[in-house]
Amino acid sequence: MMTFNWRSAFAIYRREMSRAFRTAFQSILSPVLTTSLYFVVFGTVIGARMEPIGGVPYGAFIIPGLLMLTLLGETTSNASFGIYMPRFTGTIYELLSAPVGVAETLTGFVGAAMTKGLILAAIILTTATFFVDYEIRYPVFAALYIMLVASSFALFGFILGIWADSFEKLGIIPLLILTPLTFLGGTFYSIRDLPAPWDDIALANPIAFLVSGLRYSFYGVADVPIAVSLGLTLGFLVACVAVIAIIFRTGWRLRE
């Protein structure tokens, strides 16, 4: 019976975390500065002229959406780059030949990407206090939901890093798909305020359910039922785990 090799998992995790801190400006400070500009422009300047949405001041209303915007992009990018570089340099063969299982590999790479995302989330929430007043109605649920989203998209990023065969492809999903979908997913507005049929069309965007779920944990208001948001997020996580299991079982892209 095989046991989980914590030492191997921690070695991968520590290496990935050290890489993040070596490039702290790009990995941590840059997204925080970008999000701060959103708070200044939309939260302070424009927000002061906007009516409350669902009883929530506009500056506070956009916090969950901006948090999700950074969390999705950075977690996906960190995980994809983390597994892509060993493939690019050829050191992936050392990992595959070492006594390290799939669970240890995922714990190291995905755990590090998830940790970076959670660090960013904490910094962004702290930064937001300097610009707008907000509260978190369900802090425990908010923390668990953020962890669930971070782990799901870290797994997704891991799949992306295995699929990509160039640095250009690494940026396609985060920049050209996730970011636009997050902007269109109710980051700066409530989907319920859209005129028909755009309100129904907006619900075809899966990111809208994530933003709605996080906003519910902050203010108790949501565009869709929280059970639907939670169920879709869990389903996405399970699907990513299933895909990764198939990848390691077949060796797709790992041994090319």
Domain ranges of the chain: 6-250
Listed in sequence order, the residues at least 6 apart from 179 whose beta carbon sits closer than 8 Å to its beta carbon are 69, 73
Give the pLDDT mean for 171-198.
Answer: 90
Tell me the residue ranges of DSSP E strands in the chain: none
Q: Which residue has the tokens 């299933």?
A: 242
Residues 30, 128: contact at Cβ < 8 Å? no
Q: Which residue has the tokens 């797709």?
A: 252
DSSP 62-125: THHHHHHHHHHHHHHHHHHHHHHHHHHHTTHHHHHHSS--HHHHHHHHHHHHHHHHHHHHHHHH
User: pLDDT of 54-90, one tens digit each?
Assistant: 889 998 999 999 999 999 999 999 999 999 999 888 8
pLDDT bracket for residue 159 (50, 70, 90): very high
Average pLDDT, the chain: 90
Count other Cβ atoms within 10 Å, centred on residue 43.
24
Give how far Cα 251 sits from Cα of 118, 166, 236, Å. Answer: 30, 19, 22
Tokens, residue 142: 């908010």
Q: Can you give the C-alpha Rg of the chain in angstroms? A: 19
pLDDT score for 1: 46
Q: Is the pLDDT of residue 170 over 80?
A: yes
